[in-house]
Amino acid sequence: MYSEYKDIVEFRYIYISEAHALDDKKPKEVAAAKNIYEHKTYKDRCSVANMFEKDKGTKVPIIVDTIDNKIANLYNGRPTRAFVIGTDGILKVTGDGGSRAYRQNVVLVGEWLKKFKSTGKESQ
């Protein structure tokens, strides 16, 4: 999706609090493999975001949420969400929360982007 639409929109990942860190109630294997604990400082969070960027080789710029989770709280971004924010600052696509809904969110975003690319208009 990034390759197809990067010429007409800006993409960003927003790295928020770690969902399944080693010291979480439900840690994931990746946290153990990467030695990821819940972030205590902003530097901790940035370090894990950098690890993600290197491991995934992503070309999409990453924004790191504040340690008090301002962005995640504002957009109810836990654990995984996909959004389209228009040039007017208004949400055009708001995907459902949850890692299971992420694929559906990406489909919604893709449909919006396809329409935008063909019409040049931001649909609601």
Return the CATH number at 87.
3.40.30.10
pLDDT level of residue 82 (50, 70, 90 thresholds): confident
CB neighbourhood size of 46 (10 A): 15
| Domains: count for the chain | 1
Residue 85 lies in a domain: yes
**Residue range(s) defining the domain that contains residue 6:** 2-117
Output the pLDDT for position 98. Answer: 65
Q: Compute the average pLDDT of residues 78-90.
A: 82
Residue 50 has pLDDT above 70, yes or no: yes
Q: How many CA atoms lie within 13 A of 18 on its CB side?
A: 30
